[in-house]
Amino acid sequence: MNEHVHPTTSAPPDATTLRTIEALESRVGRRVVARLDEATRSLPPGVETRLAFARTQALARTRAKRRAVAAATTVVASGVAARRGRGWPAWWRLAGTWLPLVLVAAGLWAIGQWREQDRILAAAELDARLLTDVLPPAAYADPGFEAFLRQGDAR
């Protein structure tokens, strides 16, 4: 049984490991049953009757526990299914699913519009400065004017 999975291992065991563990458990169970059957053949009749009665009671308790677990699982599963069915109408759930995406798209569009408006205002301000300057607009088209501006920056 060296194939035991350590409890601190973060990865769950794969299907092959689970099948191997189940096969080992099954083999051990068959061996235990064989030894118990062998040992019960040599028991006195009174002890054998009491063991049979105890086995019947243990099986009944096990079946009752399994039914209780199955019933609790069914109740929990039906409660989850019922919660999914109740509450908001389907169109509200659909709106809740798509609303974040629509809001992000609208936000991106608004940011684009704001940036475009900012560029337009900057261009308008530059145009206003050029038109109200003492230099005529033709001076800006003169090739020597650019050299004049560079010399002015060097001073």
At 1 the pLDDT is 46
**Is residue 110 over pLDDT 90?**
yes
Q: Which amino acid is at 72?
A: A
Residue linked to tokens 């475009």:
116
**Is residue 25 over pLDDT 60?**
yes
Residue linked to tokens 């099954």:
26
- Indicate the average pLDDT of the chain: 79
Dihedral of the CA atoms 27, 28, 29, 34 (nearest 10)? 90
Q: Which of residues 135 and 34 earns the better pLDDT score?
A: 34
In 3-state terms, the chain is what percent helix, strand and coil (to 5)? 80, 0, 20
Q: Which of residues 132 and 152 earns the better pLDDT score?
A: 132
Q: pLDDT-derived band of residue 112, with 50, 70 and 90 as boundaries?
A: very high
- The predicted model scores a pTM of 0.33
Residue partners of 48: CB distance under 8 A and separation at least 6: 40
Distance (Å, rounded) from C-alpha 125 to C-alpha 118? Answer: 11
Distance (Å, rounded) from C-alpha 88 to C-alpha 85? Answer: 9
Average pLDDT over residues 30-51: 81
The answer to whether 88 and 96 have CB atoms below 8 angstroms apart is yes
Residue linked to tokens 């995406």:
101
Q: pLDDT-derived band of residue 4, with 50, 70 and 90 as boundaries?
A: low
